[in-house]
Structure 1
Amino acid sequence: MRNLILILILFWGTVFYAQDISAEELLNKSITFHNPNQKWESFNGSFTVLMNTPKSSDRLSTIKIDLLKEQFSLSVEKDSTTYSYLFNKEKCTIRLNGSTEISETDRKKHRLSCERGKMMQNYYTYLYGLPMKLKDPGTILDDTVQSKTFKGKKYLVLKVNYEEEVGNDVWYFYFDPNTYAMEVYQFYHDESKGDGEYILLSGLEEINGVKMPKTRAWYYNKDDKYLGTDVLIKPTVH
Protein backbone atom coordinates (compact mmCIF):
# COMPACT_ATOMS: atom_id res chain seq x y z
CA MET A 1 0.00 0.00 0.00
CA ARG A 2 2.83 2.38 0.91
CA ASN A 3 4.51 1.76 -2.45
CA LEU A 4 1.21 2.34 -4.24
CA ILE A 5 0.72 5.68 -2.48
CA LEU A 6 4.26 6.72 -3.43
CA ILE A 7 3.63 5.80 -7.09
CA LEU A 8 0.38 7.81 -7.10
CA ILE A 9 2.12 10.84 -5.60
CA LEU A 10 4.85 10.69 -8.25
CA PHE A 11 2.28 10.18 -11.02
CA TRP A 12 0.05 13.05 -10.03
CA GLY A 13 3.06 15.27 -9.45
CA THR A 14 4.21 14.61 -13.02
CA VAL A 15 0.75 15.25 -14.46
CA PHE A 16 0.35 18.50 -12.51
CA TYR A 17 3.75 19.75 -13.62
CA ALA A 18 3.03 18.89 -17.25
CA GLN A 19 -0.14 20.94 -17.07
CA ASP A 20 1.47 23.79 -15.17
CA ILE A 21 4.65 24.36 -17.21
CA SER A 22 4.53 27.34 -19.55
CA ALA A 23 5.52 27.22 -23.21
CA GLU A 24 8.52 29.46 -22.57
CA GLU A 25 9.68 27.27 -19.68
CA LEU A 26 9.38 24.11 -21.76
CA LEU A 27 11.33 25.64 -24.63
CA ASN A 28 14.04 26.86 -22.27
CA LYS A 29 14.36 23.42 -20.65
CA SER A 30 14.73 21.78 -24.06
CA ILE A 31 17.33 24.34 -25.10
CA THR A 32 19.23 23.60 -21.88
CA PHE A 33 19.22 19.91 -22.82
CA HIS A 34 20.35 20.40 -26.43
CA ASN A 35 22.60 23.42 -25.91
CA PRO A 36 23.79 23.10 -22.30
CA ASN A 37 26.76 25.46 -22.60
CA GLN A 38 25.24 28.03 -25.00
CA LYS A 39 27.48 26.88 -27.84
CA TRP A 40 24.90 27.29 -30.61
CA GLU A 41 25.02 31.09 -30.50
CA SER A 42 28.65 31.02 -31.70
CA PHE A 43 28.48 27.68 -33.53
CA ASN A 44 31.39 26.98 -35.84
CA GLY A 45 31.48 23.39 -37.01
CA SER A 46 30.85 20.86 -39.72
CA PHE A 47 29.00 17.59 -40.09
CA THR A 48 27.86 15.22 -42.81
CA VAL A 49 24.32 14.04 -43.51
CA LEU A 50 23.64 10.80 -45.38
CA MET A 51 20.18 10.85 -46.96
CA ASN A 52 18.46 7.66 -48.03
CA THR A 53 15.17 7.78 -49.93
CA PRO A 54 13.12 5.00 -51.54
CA LYS A 55 13.86 4.41 -55.23
CA SER A 56 16.78 6.83 -55.26
CA SER A 57 20.51 6.65 -54.68
CA ASP A 58 22.04 7.96 -51.46
CA ARG A 59 22.98 11.62 -51.14
CA LEU A 60 25.91 12.71 -49.01
CA SER A 61 25.88 16.33 -47.84
CA THR A 62 28.68 18.02 -45.91
CA ILE A 63 27.57 21.16 -44.08
CA LYS A 64 29.80 23.81 -42.52
CA ILE A 65 28.27 26.59 -40.43
CA ASP A 66 30.03 29.56 -38.87
CA LEU A 67 27.36 31.76 -37.32
CA LEU A 68 29.63 34.57 -36.10
CA LYS A 69 31.30 35.04 -39.48
CA GLU A 70 27.98 34.49 -41.31
CA GLN A 71 29.50 31.75 -43.42
CA PHE A 72 27.84 28.59 -44.70
CA SER A 73 28.88 25.89 -47.14
CA LEU A 74 27.11 22.84 -48.49
CA SER A 75 28.86 20.18 -50.56
CA VAL A 76 26.69 17.44 -52.06
CA GLU A 77 27.74 14.12 -53.60
CA LYS A 78 25.17 12.03 -55.46
CA ASP A 79 25.96 9.35 -58.02
CA SER A 80 28.91 10.72 -60.01
CA THR A 81 28.09 14.40 -59.48
CA THR A 82 29.27 16.86 -56.85
CA TYR A 83 28.06 20.41 -56.39
CA SER A 84 28.55 23.00 -53.69
CA TYR A 85 27.30 26.31 -52.37
CA LEU A 86 29.47 28.71 -50.40
CA PHE A 87 27.99 31.76 -48.70
CA ASN A 88 30.29 34.38 -47.20
CA LYS A 89 27.67 36.69 -45.73
CA GLU A 90 25.64 37.50 -48.86
CA LYS A 91 28.30 36.55 -51.41
CA CYS A 92 27.35 33.28 -53.12
CA THR A 93 29.66 30.89 -55.00
CA ILE A 94 28.41 27.76 -56.78
CA ARG A 95 30.57 24.93 -58.07
CA LEU A 96 29.70 21.87 -60.15
CA ASN A 97 32.27 19.08 -60.11
CA GLY A 98 34.79 21.58 -58.76
CA SER A 99 34.26 24.30 -61.37
CA THR A 100 32.50 27.66 -61.18
CA GLU A 101 32.07 27.59 -64.98
CA ILE A 102 28.59 26.04 -65.23
CA SER A 103 26.46 25.94 -68.36
CA GLU A 104 22.83 27.03 -68.24
CA THR A 105 21.84 23.47 -69.16
CA ASP A 106 23.68 22.06 -66.13
CA ARG A 107 22.30 24.79 -63.88
CA LYS A 108 18.78 23.80 -64.82
CA LYS A 109 19.51 20.07 -64.69
CA HIS A 110 20.92 20.22 -61.16
CA ARG A 111 18.73 23.15 -60.03
CA LEU A 112 21.72 25.28 -59.14
CA SER A 113 21.03 28.87 -58.15
CA CYS A 114 21.94 31.17 -55.29
CA GLU A 115 18.25 31.34 -54.35
CA ARG A 116 18.16 27.56 -53.92
CA GLY A 117 21.47 27.66 -52.07
CA LYS A 118 20.05 30.22 -49.64
CA MET A 119 17.02 27.98 -49.13
CA MET A 120 19.33 25.06 -48.29
CA GLN A 121 21.30 27.27 -45.90
CA ASN A 122 18.09 28.21 -44.08
CA TYR A 123 16.91 24.58 -44.12
CA TYR A 124 20.01 23.05 -42.54
CA THR A 125 20.60 25.91 -40.11
CA TYR A 126 16.99 25.74 -38.94
CA LEU A 127 16.63 21.97 -38.54
CA TYR A 128 19.99 21.35 -36.91
CA GLY A 129 19.67 24.52 -34.84
CA LEU A 130 16.42 23.37 -33.21
CA PRO A 131 15.09 23.94 -30.63
CA MET A 132 17.28 27.05 -30.26
CA LYS A 133 15.95 28.47 -33.54
CA LEU A 134 12.51 28.78 -31.93
CA LYS A 135 13.89 31.91 -30.24
CA ASP A 136 14.39 33.61 -33.61
CA PRO A 137 12.43 36.76 -34.50
CA GLY A 138 9.18 36.02 -36.33
CA THR A 139 8.48 32.87 -34.30
CA ILE A 140 5.07 32.85 -32.61
CA LEU A 141 5.03 30.42 -29.70
CA ASP A 142 1.56 29.31 -28.63
CA ASP A 143 0.99 29.94 -24.92
CA THR A 144 -0.50 26.51 -24.25
CA VAL A 145 1.64 23.41 -23.66
CA GLN A 146 -0.26 20.44 -25.02
CA SER A 147 -0.01 16.86 -23.79
CA LYS A 148 -0.18 14.32 -26.64
CA THR A 149 0.46 10.65 -27.18
CA PHE A 150 2.28 10.04 -30.47
CA LYS A 151 3.32 6.60 -31.67
CA GLY A 152 2.53 5.22 -28.21
CA LYS A 153 4.61 7.73 -26.22
CA LYS A 154 3.43 10.72 -24.21
CA TYR A 155 4.94 14.09 -25.04
CA LEU A 156 4.78 17.72 -24.05
CA VAL A 157 4.02 19.62 -27.25
CA LEU A 158 4.59 23.18 -28.39
CA LYS A 159 2.64 24.69 -31.27
CA VAL A 160 4.47 27.28 -33.36
CA ASN A 161 3.30 29.69 -36.04
CA TYR A 162 5.41 32.22 -37.90
CA GLU A 163 4.96 35.77 -39.00
CA GLU A 164 4.00 35.95 -42.67
CA GLU A 165 7.40 37.08 -43.93
CA VAL A 166 9.04 34.11 -42.17
CA GLY A 167 6.69 31.25 -43.09
CA ASN A 168 3.11 30.06 -43.35
CA ASP A 169 3.36 26.50 -42.03
CA VAL A 170 2.12 25.41 -38.60
CA TRP A 171 4.65 23.38 -36.60
CA TYR A 172 4.36 21.11 -33.57
CA PHE A 173 7.39 20.14 -31.50
CA TYR A 174 7.27 17.07 -29.23
CA PHE A 175 9.47 16.87 -26.12
CA ASP A 176 10.19 14.01 -23.76
CA PRO A 177 8.46 15.01 -20.48
CA ASN A 178 11.39 13.83 -18.36
CA THR A 179 14.53 14.92 -20.24
CA TYR A 180 12.95 17.63 -22.44
CA ALA A 181 14.78 16.22 -25.46
CA MET A 182 13.09 17.05 -28.74
CA GLU A 183 12.02 13.73 -30.29
CA VAL A 184 9.43 14.59 -32.97
CA TYR A 185 8.46 17.56 -35.06
CA GLN A 186 5.54 17.94 -37.41
CA PHE A 187 4.33 20.59 -39.81
CA TYR A 188 1.22 21.35 -41.84
CA HIS A 189 0.72 23.63 -44.82
CA ASP A 190 -3.04 23.44 -44.17
CA GLU A 191 -3.83 21.61 -40.94
CA SER A 192 -7.51 21.20 -41.85
CA LYS A 193 -6.43 19.02 -44.80
CA GLY A 194 -4.00 16.94 -42.73
CA ASP A 195 -1.18 17.57 -45.21
CA GLY A 196 2.48 18.10 -44.39
CA GLU A 197 4.90 15.74 -42.71
CA TYR A 198 6.15 14.46 -39.38
CA ILE A 199 9.75 13.65 -38.54
CA LEU A 200 10.84 11.06 -35.96
CA LEU A 201 14.14 11.82 -34.26
CA SER A 202 16.31 9.16 -32.66
CA GLY A 203 19.76 9.14 -31.12
CA LEU A 204 21.99 12.14 -30.46
CA GLU A 205 25.28 13.31 -31.86
CA GLU A 206 27.19 16.10 -30.09
CA ILE A 207 28.67 18.55 -32.58
CA ASN A 208 30.77 21.33 -31.02
CA GLY A 209 28.80 21.17 -27.78
CA VAL A 210 25.34 21.01 -29.39
CA LYS A 211 23.26 17.82 -29.09
CA MET A 212 21.75 17.21 -32.53
CA PRO A 213 19.44 14.37 -33.64
CA LYS A 214 21.43 11.45 -35.04
CA THR A 215 18.63 10.14 -37.26
CA ARG A 216 15.60 11.84 -38.77
CA ALA A 217 12.94 9.72 -40.48
CA TRP A 218 10.36 11.59 -42.58
CA TYR A 219 6.71 10.57 -43.15
CA TYR A 220 3.55 12.10 -44.63
CA ASN A 221 0.96 13.11 -42.02
CA LYS A 222 -1.95 11.95 -44.16
CA ASP A 223 -1.06 8.29 -44.72
CA ASP A 224 2.18 7.68 -42.76
CA LYS A 225 3.98 7.07 -46.05
CA TYR A 226 7.72 6.83 -45.49
CA LEU A 227 9.72 9.49 -47.37
CA GLY A 228 13.31 9.00 -46.30
CA THR A 229 15.91 9.08 -43.56
CA ASP A 230 18.75 11.48 -42.78
CA VAL A 231 21.67 10.20 -40.71
CA LEU A 232 24.07 12.70 -39.16
CA ILE A 233 27.71 11.63 -39.26
CA LYS A 234 30.03 13.28 -36.78
CA PRO A 235 33.41 14.40 -38.20
CA THR A 236 36.30 12.09 -37.43
CA VAL A 237 38.84 13.65 -35.09
CA HIS A 238 42.39 12.96 -36.22
Structure 2
Amino acid sequence: MTETPKPNVVSREEWEQARAELLLREKAHTHAGDELAAARRRLPMTQMEPVTIVGASGPVQLQDVFAGRRQLIVYHFMWNPGQPHNKQCEGCTHSQVAMHEQVCAYLAARDVTYAVFCSGPFSEISAYRDFMGWTNPWYSTAESGPVMKTRDGGDLRVYRREGNDVFQTYETKWRGIEAMLPTLQLLDFTPFGRQETWEDSPAGSPQQKAGSWWRRDGRPIAQWTRTDEKITPPIVQIGK
Protein backbone atom coordinates (compact mmCIF):
# COMPACT_ATOMS: atom_id res chain seq x y z
CA MET A 1 0.00 0.00 0.00
CA THR A 2 1.34 3.40 -0.95
CA GLU A 3 1.96 5.59 2.07
CA THR A 4 -0.16 8.72 2.04
CA PRO A 5 1.66 12.03 2.43
CA LYS A 6 1.72 13.79 5.76
CA PRO A 7 1.84 17.54 6.41
CA ASN A 8 4.87 18.96 8.14
CA VAL A 9 4.97 18.33 11.87
CA VAL A 10 5.64 21.61 13.72
CA SER A 11 5.50 23.01 17.23
CA ARG A 12 2.21 24.15 18.73
CA GLU A 13 3.32 27.77 18.37
CA GLU A 14 4.09 27.35 14.66
CA TRP A 15 0.77 25.53 14.15
CA GLU A 16 -1.16 28.35 15.86
CA GLN A 17 0.52 30.88 13.59
CA ALA A 18 -0.32 28.92 10.42
CA ARG A 19 -3.91 28.43 11.63
CA ALA A 20 -4.27 32.17 12.31
CA GLU A 21 -3.08 32.98 8.79
CA LEU A 22 -5.60 30.58 7.27
CA LEU A 23 -8.34 32.01 9.49
CA LEU A 24 -7.88 35.41 7.86
CA ARG A 25 -8.56 33.84 4.48
CA GLU A 26 -11.56 31.94 5.86
CA LYS A 27 -13.04 35.15 7.27
CA ALA A 28 -12.58 36.88 3.91
CA HIS A 29 -14.36 33.97 2.24
CA THR A 30 -17.24 34.24 4.72
CA HIS A 31 -17.59 37.97 4.14
CA ALA A 32 -17.54 37.44 0.37
CA GLY A 33 -20.34 34.92 0.81
CA ASP A 34 -22.33 37.45 2.83
CA GLU A 35 -21.95 39.95 0.01
CA LEU A 36 -23.18 37.40 -2.52
CA ALA A 37 -26.18 36.60 -0.33
CA ALA A 38 -26.99 40.31 -0.13
CA ALA A 39 -26.86 40.55 -3.93
CA ARG A 40 -29.03 37.43 -4.20
CA ARG A 41 -31.70 39.09 -2.07
CA ARG A 42 -31.75 42.00 -4.51
CA LEU A 43 -32.11 39.97 -7.71
CA PRO A 44 -35.16 40.86 -9.81
CA MET A 45 -37.87 38.22 -9.96
CA THR A 46 -40.01 36.86 -12.77
CA GLN A 47 -43.67 35.91 -12.57
CA MET A 48 -44.62 32.27 -13.09
CA GLU A 49 -47.42 31.29 -15.41
CA PRO A 50 -50.16 29.12 -13.86
CA VAL A 51 -48.92 25.57 -13.49
CA THR A 52 -50.44 22.38 -12.09
CA ILE A 53 -48.43 19.67 -10.33
CA VAL A 54 -49.52 16.42 -8.67
CA GLY A 55 -49.13 15.71 -4.95
CA ALA A 56 -50.52 13.31 -2.39
CA SER A 57 -53.97 14.91 -2.70
CA GLY A 58 -53.94 15.01 -6.49
CA PRO A 59 -53.45 17.99 -8.82
CA VAL A 60 -52.67 21.33 -7.14
CA GLN A 61 -51.53 24.76 -8.25
CA LEU A 62 -47.98 25.96 -7.61
CA GLN A 63 -49.19 28.57 -5.12
CA ASP A 64 -50.72 25.79 -3.00
CA VAL A 65 -47.31 24.20 -2.44
CA PHE A 66 -46.33 27.19 -0.28
CA ALA A 67 -48.69 25.85 2.43
CA GLY A 68 -49.65 29.43 3.34
CA ARG A 69 -46.08 30.68 3.59
CA ARG A 70 -44.55 33.40 1.42
CA GLN A 71 -41.36 31.60 0.35
CA LEU A 72 -40.73 28.22 -1.24
CA ILE A 73 -37.55 26.24 -1.86
CA VAL A 74 -37.92 23.42 -4.37
CA TYR A 75 -35.40 20.68 -5.09
CA HIS A 76 -35.74 19.04 -8.50
CA PHE A 77 -34.99 15.34 -8.00
CA MET A 78 -33.55 13.52 -11.01
CA TRP A 79 -35.69 10.48 -11.85
CA ASN A 80 -35.19 7.28 -13.85
CA PRO A 81 -38.75 6.29 -14.85
CA GLY A 82 -39.79 2.72 -14.20
CA GLN A 83 -36.55 1.81 -12.46
CA PRO A 84 -36.27 0.18 -9.00
CA HIS A 85 -35.10 2.06 -5.93
CA ASN A 86 -31.46 1.02 -6.26
CA LYS A 87 -31.31 2.53 -9.77
CA GLN A 88 -32.37 6.02 -8.70
CA CYS A 89 -29.95 8.94 -8.56
CA GLU A 90 -27.29 8.64 -5.86
CA GLY A 91 -26.54 12.38 -6.01
CA CYS A 92 -30.14 13.47 -5.50
CA THR A 93 -30.52 10.86 -2.78
CA HIS A 94 -27.43 12.27 -1.08
CA SER A 95 -28.88 15.79 -1.26
CA GLN A 96 -32.06 14.81 0.56
CA VAL A 97 -30.44 13.01 3.49
CA ALA A 98 -29.92 16.22 5.47
CA MET A 99 -33.37 17.65 4.64
CA HIS A 100 -35.18 15.89 7.43
CA GLU A 101 -38.29 17.08 9.22
CA GLN A 102 -36.49 19.03 11.93
CA VAL A 103 -34.44 21.05 9.40
CA CYS A 104 -37.59 21.97 7.50
CA ALA A 105 -39.23 23.07 10.74
CA TYR A 106 -36.51 25.71 11.07
CA LEU A 107 -37.10 26.83 7.49
CA ALA A 108 -40.81 27.08 8.24
CA ALA A 109 -40.02 29.32 11.21
CA ARG A 110 -38.57 31.78 8.68
CA ASP A 111 -41.69 31.60 6.45
CA VAL A 112 -40.14 29.06 4.03
CA THR A 113 -41.68 25.80 2.78
CA TYR A 114 -39.42 23.08 1.41
CA ALA A 115 -40.67 20.63 -1.24
CA VAL A 116 -39.31 18.18 -3.79
CA PHE A 117 -40.41 18.21 -7.43
CA CYS A 118 -39.74 15.29 -9.74
CA SER A 119 -40.58 14.46 -13.34
CA GLY A 120 -41.52 10.87 -12.49
CA PRO A 121 -45.09 9.62 -11.99
CA PHE A 122 -46.35 10.37 -8.49
CA SER A 123 -46.90 6.68 -7.69
CA GLU A 124 -43.21 5.98 -8.32
CA ILE A 125 -41.68 9.00 -6.63
CA SER A 126 -43.87 8.75 -3.53
CA ALA A 127 -42.90 5.08 -3.18
CA TYR A 128 -39.24 6.10 -3.19
CA ARG A 129 -39.80 8.87 -0.67
CA ASP A 130 -41.61 6.44 1.64
CA PHE A 131 -38.91 3.79 1.21
CA MET A 132 -36.27 6.32 2.27
CA GLY A 133 -38.36 7.41 5.26
CA TRP A 134 -38.57 11.04 4.16
CA THR A 135 -41.53 13.15 5.25
CA ASN A 136 -41.17 16.26 3.08
CA PRO A 137 -43.88 16.81 0.46
CA TRP A 138 -43.07 15.48 -3.02
CA TYR A 139 -44.82 16.50 -6.22
CA SER A 140 -44.80 15.13 -9.75
CA THR A 141 -44.19 17.54 -12.63
CA ALA A 142 -44.66 14.81 -15.26
CA GLU A 143 -47.66 16.60 -16.77
CA SER A 144 -46.69 20.18 -15.91
CA GLY A 145 -45.21 21.16 -19.26
CA PRO A 146 -41.87 22.84 -20.03
CA VAL A 147 -42.13 25.55 -17.35
CA MET A 148 -41.13 23.05 -14.63
CA LYS A 149 -38.37 21.28 -16.55
CA THR A 150 -34.73 21.56 -15.49
CA ARG A 151 -31.56 20.20 -17.10
CA ASP A 152 -32.45 16.70 -15.70
CA GLY A 153 -32.83 17.53 -12.04
CA GLY A 154 -30.35 18.26 -9.32
CA ASP A 155 -31.19 21.97 -9.04
CA LEU A 156 -32.80 24.20 -6.44
CA ARG A 157 -35.36 26.84 -7.36
CA VAL A 158 -36.72 29.51 -5.06
CA TYR A 159 -40.10 31.21 -5.28
CA ARG A 160 -41.97 34.04 -3.61
CA ARG A 161 -45.76 34.26 -3.28
CA GLU A 162 -47.83 37.43 -3.29
CA GLY A 163 -51.43 36.37 -2.86
CA ASN A 164 -52.02 33.85 -5.67
CA ASP A 165 -49.18 35.23 -7.79
CA VAL A 166 -45.92 33.27 -7.75
CA PHE A 167 -42.54 34.67 -8.75
CA GLN A 168 -39.27 32.85 -9.29
CA THR A 169 -36.44 34.60 -7.46
CA TYR A 170 -33.44 32.27 -7.77
CA GLU A 171 -32.11 28.97 -9.05
CA THR A 172 -28.87 27.03 -8.73
CA LYS A 173 -26.67 25.35 -11.28
CA TRP A 174 -24.19 22.48 -10.88
CA ARG A 175 -22.40 22.85 -7.52
CA GLY A 176 -24.99 25.34 -6.30
CA ILE A 177 -26.71 22.75 -4.12
CA GLU A 178 -23.69 22.11 -1.90
CA ALA A 179 -25.44 24.01 0.88
CA MET A 180 -27.65 20.88 1.12
CA LEU A 181 -24.67 18.56 1.49
CA PRO A 182 -23.13 18.96 4.96
CA THR A 183 -21.21 15.73 4.35
CA LEU A 184 -19.07 17.49 1.76
CA GLN A 185 -18.63 20.62 3.85
CA LEU A 186 -17.51 18.56 6.84
CA LEU A 187 -15.10 16.58 4.67
CA ASP A 188 -13.56 19.89 3.57
CA PHE A 189 -12.30 20.24 7.16
CA THR A 190 -10.49 16.89 7.12
CA PRO A 191 -6.87 16.14 6.11
CA PHE A 192 -7.90 14.17 2.99
CA GLY A 193 -10.86 16.41 2.04
CA ARG A 194 -13.54 14.90 -0.18
CA GLN A 195 -10.94 12.56 -1.69
CA GLU A 196 -12.03 13.45 -5.23
CA THR A 197 -9.77 13.86 -8.25
CA TRP A 198 -10.68 17.49 -8.98
CA GLU A 199 -9.39 18.66 -5.59
CA ASP A 200 -6.01 20.34 -5.15
CA SER A 201 -4.55 17.98 -2.55
CA PRO A 202 -0.98 16.94 -1.70
CA ALA A 203 0.46 14.41 -4.14
CA GLY A 204 -0.42 10.86 -3.12
CA SER A 205 -3.61 11.75 -1.27
CA PRO A 206 -6.42 9.20 -1.74
CA GLN A 207 -8.74 10.36 -4.52
CA GLN A 208 -11.58 8.99 -6.65
CA LYS A 209 -13.86 10.40 -9.33
CA ALA A 210 -16.27 12.99 -7.94
CA GLY A 211 -19.45 11.36 -6.61
CA SER A 212 -18.27 7.82 -7.32
CA TRP A 213 -18.32 6.99 -3.62
CA TRP A 214 -22.00 7.96 -3.18
CA ARG A 215 -23.01 4.46 -4.32
CA ARG A 216 -21.89 1.22 -2.64
CA ASP A 217 -22.58 -2.38 -3.69
CA GLY A 218 -25.14 -1.28 -6.26
CA ARG A 219 -27.12 1.15 -4.12
CA PRO A 220 -26.93 4.81 -3.12
CA ILE A 221 -25.19 4.65 0.28
CA ALA A 222 -28.17 6.04 2.21
CA GLN A 223 -30.34 3.12 1.09
CA TRP A 224 -28.28 0.75 3.21
CA THR A 225 -29.77 2.43 6.29
CA ARG A 226 -33.21 1.33 5.03
CA THR A 227 -32.51 -2.30 4.12
CA ASP A 228 -29.82 -4.97 4.54
CA GLU A 229 -31.05 -6.95 1.54
CA LYS A 230 -28.51 -7.59 -1.19
CA ILE A 231 -29.49 -6.91 -4.78
CA THR A 232 -30.08 -10.17 -6.61
CA PRO A 233 -31.80 -10.67 -9.96
CA PRO A 234 -34.52 -10.50 -10.99
CA ILE A 235 -35.16 -6.94 -9.81
CA VAL A 236 -38.84 -6.14 -9.52
CA GLN A 237 -39.60 -2.69 -10.90
CA ILE A 238 -41.69 -0.17 -9.00
CA GLY A 239 -45.36 -0.64 -9.72
CA LYS A 240 -44.90 -4.09 -11.24
Normalised-by-shorter TM-score class: under 0.3
TM-score when normalising by structure 1? 0.27
Normalized per residue, which structure has more strand? 1
Q: Could you tell me the TM-score, scaled by structure 2's length?
A: 0.27
Q: Which protein has the larger Cα radius of gyration, Structure 1 or Structure 2?
A: 2
